[in-house]
Amino acid sequence: MNFISMNVVTLLYLVASVCFIQALKGLSSPSTARIGNTFGMAGMAIAVVTTIALMFKLQAELATGSGMGFSLVLLGVVVGGAIGAVAAKKVEMTKMPELVAAMHSLIGLAAVCIAIAAVSEPWAFNIAERGGALPFGNRLELFIGTFVGAVTFSGSVIAFGKLSGKYKFRLFQGAPVRFAGQHILNLVLAIAIIALGLVFCFSDDVAPAWTPFIIMAALSFLLGVLIIIPIGGADMPVVVSMLNSYSGWAAAGIGFSLNNSMLIIAGSLVGSSGAILSYIMCKAMNRSFFNVILGGFGGEASVDDGAAKEQRPVKSGSADDAAFILQNAESVIIVPGYGLAVARAQHSVKELVDKLTEHGVQVRYAIHPVAGRMPGHMNVLLAEAEVPYDQVVEMEDINGEFGQTDVVLVLGANDVVNPAAKDPKSPIAGMPILEAYKAKSIIVNKRSMASGYAGLDNDLFYQPNTMMVFGDAKKVIESMVKAVE
């Protein structure tokens, strides 16, 4: 029975691809993010249903009998979909980078599993005739897909552990893990992987060259661990976006092997967008992409003199003091950061802004590209609280206005407002920051004087025009709301 023609399959895959492209376009702005997500879900639904129909067709053509493989696929769809739905429903916004890393790991592992199946039974994937040898081009594609997929899986697992901070295992801790000869070992492993991959590709036997293939895959898993463990917590957002790109290229590579246009297009979209995002984040953090990958930054910035911080005087005040200053200002800029996300205080901030606006105060939000733990983190938080989009301003558009602003309210942000970036001798020298230090008055809410993600002390906290308000962001802001009459 012919369930679906290949022309229809190609057309439906093209429609799904267009939906994915529209999804990326929609997700580029908070105002269109919902419709972007809708396009993404529609595209994935079309792709899944089309693939299931294609499986029916291939099963009928190959006359494989019981259909156990199809049942397992349906079971995987149901179980995986249920787990994904529950995880997405329960995950906190502060844990979103961990969820992304976990999803990337599964994509990488899926690429490896598909490659193993294709090498084992290429005839089932229409790669070769039954009993025939794998063509060289397909071997090369499967080698690349396996290599990238394995690195993505193990690297994403390490990134997940580092972002979570829940595990005591040394490799999952935020501090960089380094040892003598680390880069040399990585280089040797990479050369060995390429050599084994070439042996697999140039094998002329009908039976697949399993020994070099399996060893190559195992070394790729090991390399994924070794290239991530020396990267410190400050650079982990870049790593997550980089692994996002890797997962896309792994999917695209397998798509070429299977002659599946959907995998090729979707993988290329994910790979290219992840690479662009990694570049944007490195630029926003003044990092060299290659230094991040080689572990050249994370540990150095975390070296800080805690004693020196304790000796420097700071001016502190209460939530009532802060509310009085805000209420009597003409213009206020709010700088949200990770502390705001942890406290889930976005709705309280919206309430505070509404009350200040009623008193004639002009209030805007200044967003740094990498505030939080991933790009767009703060935009999503504010959108969740239904903050008007015209109040949310990006760094390059608002930096020139801090000097004419009466009060800047910094909520849980640290590194993105650190004036040390202007010091050529600082580890973060040249990093673009929100120039909050130029404002007439600065109010900073933090739980303590602890350093930020980069591990550096912040000179902004010690300026004579800065007042520190210590405490949980949500409780402090709720107290401000009550104090504003």
Please identify every residue annotated as catalytic. Answer: 415
- Tokens 């397992």 map to which residue? 72
Q: Which residue is associated with the tokens 């399959």?
A: 9
- Do residues 36 and 26 lie in contact, with contact meaning Cβ atoms separated by under 8 Å? yes
Q: Is residue 439 within 8 Å of residue 402, measured between CB atoms?
A: yes
Q: How is residue 232 written in tokens?
A: 């410190």
Q: What DSSP letter does each residue of 191-233 carry, written as one string? A: HHHHHHHHHHHT---SS--HHHHHHHHHHHHHHHHHHHTTS-G
Tokens of 343: 């406290």
Checking phi first, is residue 320 left (phi over 0); if not, alpha (psi -120 to 50) or beta?
A: alpha
Q: Return the ∠ at Cα 452 (arms to 353 and 427), rounded to 5°.
A: 125
Report the C-alpha gap between 89 and 195 in whole angstroms. 44
Are 3 and 57 in contact by the 8 Å Cβ rule? The answer is yes
Tell me which amino acid residue 341 is. A
Q: Where are the beta strands (DSSP E) in 69-171?
A: none
Q: Give the angle subtended at the CA of 282 by the CAs of 246 and 275, to the nearest 5°.
A: 25
Would you tell me the crossing angle of helices 261-284 and 6-26 to the nearest 10 degrees? 20
How far apart CA 54 and CA 74 sit, in angstroms, is 13
Helix (H, G, I), strand (E, B) or coil at 126: coil
- The SS3 assignment for 252 reads helix
H or E segment to which residue 411 belongs: strand 407-411
Q: Which segments within 250-358 are labelled E, that is strand?
A: 331-336
Distance between CA atoms of 334 and 468, rounded to whole angstroms?
15
